[in-house]
Amino acid sequence: MNFFWVGAGVSTAVCRVFGRMQVIGRQNIPKTGGVLLCANHVSYIDPSALAGRAGRVVHFMAKSELFKIPVLGFLVKAVGAFPVKRGTADRSALKQAIEYLRNGEVVAMFPEGQRSLTGELLEAEAGAGMIALHAKVPVIPVALVNTEKLLPPHKMFFRFTHIKVVFGPPIPLDDLYEKGGREATDEAGKRIMGAIGELLEEHRK
């Protein structure tokens, strides 16, 4: 049994019942080949809101602490997520992400590396740019709108609201592929966050 689709089904039910979820721009995601999904992060429900919306199995980069929690750790691993050590240049996680992408699979990550408790976008950590420039696959910006209202920070219960999962068009990064170095990585990160920011500005109205 593919546990990813079981988890995606449960999360879809929750987001539809409590969040009246609306999905926009799914046609921007290629049906085959490697794809990197980069989303803003404002709530613990974000991975669940995004899971299954791409119409393909998605491998999430998840903080390593989750894998150490009994039961939850098993479930996170069972749905295809892989650990990343936050605040460090986790080469193992970067290598795993690039390998998935080069093998034609979908990887999702939150470039900020942590939740934004204010809802404002944070700067991208270096990982997103590094993965994008090494894997050389389409990078799709994703705006998660109002998920912090569905499951607010430090709360344990869902609230009724209206959330959106918005997939934007691929971000142009081709001109950075051959440059390499920290400057190119930082520029890729800025473009990714800029694209996410534009989607949020448009769809928060």
Contact 167, 185 (CB under 8 A): no
Residue 156 has pLDDT above 90, yes or no: no
Higher pLDDT, 52 or 189: 189
Sign of the CA dihedral with 41 first, then 43, 47, and 52 last: negative
Report pTM.
Answer: 0.93
The DSSP output letter for 161 is -
pLDDT value of residue 87: 65
Q: How confident is the model at residue 57 (pLDDT cuts 50, 70, 90)?
A: very high
Compute CA distances 137 → 33, 143, 205, whole Å: 8, 19, 31
Domains and CATH numbers, the chain: 3-203 (3.40.1130.10)
Provide the pairing of β-strand 164-167 with 139-145.
antiparallel
SS3 content of the chain, % helix, strand, coil (to 5): 45, 15, 40
Coil vs helix vs strand at 96: helix
pLDDT tens digits, 6-51: 888 999 899 999 999 999 999 999 999 999 999 999 999 999 999 8
Higher pLDDT, 138 or 82: 138
